[in-house]
Amino acid sequence: QKEVEQNSGPLSVPEGAIASLNCTYSDRGSQSFFWYRQYSGKSPELIMFIYSNGDKEDGRFTAQLNKASQYVSLLIRDSQPSDSATYLCAAKDSNYQLIWGAGTKLIIKP
Amino acid sequence: EADIYQTPRYLVIGTGKKITLECSQTMGHDKMYWYQQDPGMELHLIHYSYGVNSTEKGDLSSESTVSRIRTEHFPLTLESARPSHTSQYLCASSGQGSGNTIYFGEGSWLTVV
């Protein structure tokens, strides 16, 4: 059973601090990894994707991938109350199917 | 970014009724998906399609059916709705670009009474 694991949270972070969200995956054949944000009652929206080892930065967001450790993370710098949401990690497996984590609920405290 | 449209957005229907949730995308994406998600819970893939006349069941057993007669259209039908079908249904699509990223519609909230 291919799995993507995330801590369900909630993860509480003070406004202005760095929020760190983590995700592990079981299929070593996975090549692409995605982070989505989902506000309560809304549909998921893409934040960024990563497929190379290392860091990928987009504004206040940085995705980190370590294929040897089968580990993906998302860092949010200068966290804002508007960042409060559930963050979904997904991995595209060796059959090109997207395997979803259950999501981590992030709360940014003003 | 994909433009994906779902109708109806909100629907309350009686038990035993037939309902079709519509989904259309304007980006020419070949792959389309239906997910079911209860509030605060994880996404479950119920159907997907890799192109016209191609449909597959997903990981979650569902009593719904889908069709893909046109590239842009992927409707989901419940022949006889039950209260256990009460949920949010999310349509999504992906194409060849942007790492095959999946883009979601706004969702259809179904309540069966």
- Each residue's pLDDT expressed in tens, for chain A with a length of 110 residues: 779 999 999 999 999 999 999 999 999 989 899 999 999 999 999 999 999 999 999 999 999 999 999 999 999 999 999 999 999 999 998 777 889 999 999 999 99
Return the pLDDT at B2: 56
Question: For residues B79 and B62, is the Cβ–Cβ distance under 8 A?
Answer: no
pLDDT at B9 over 80: yes
Q: In the predicted model, is pLDDT for residue B60 greater than 90?
A: no
Burial class (CB in 10 A: 0-12, 13-18, 19+), B13: middle
- Say whether pLDDT at B96 is over 90: no
Give the model confidence (pLDDT) of A64-74 as tens digits: 999 999 999 99
- Any chain B CB within 8 A of the CB of A30? no
In this prediction, residue B1 has a pLDDT band, given cuts at 50, 70 and 90, of low
Residue A86 · residue A106 · CB < 8 Å? yes
Query: How many CA atoms lie less than 13 Å away from A13 in the CB half-sphere?
Result: 25
pLDDT in tens, B13-52: 999 999 999 999 998 999 999 999 998 898 999 999 999 9
Contact residues, A window 49-88, toward B, CB-based 8 Å cutoff: 49, 51, 88
In this prediction, what percent of chain B has a pLDDT beyond 70?
96
For the four alpha carbons of B100, B109, B71 and B28, in that order, the dihedral sign comes to negative
Distance CA B105, CA B3 (A): 7
Q: Give contacts of A10 with chain B, Cβ < 8 Å.
A: none
Q: Does A92 touch chain B (CB under 8 A)?
A: yes
Residue B98, pLDDT score: 65
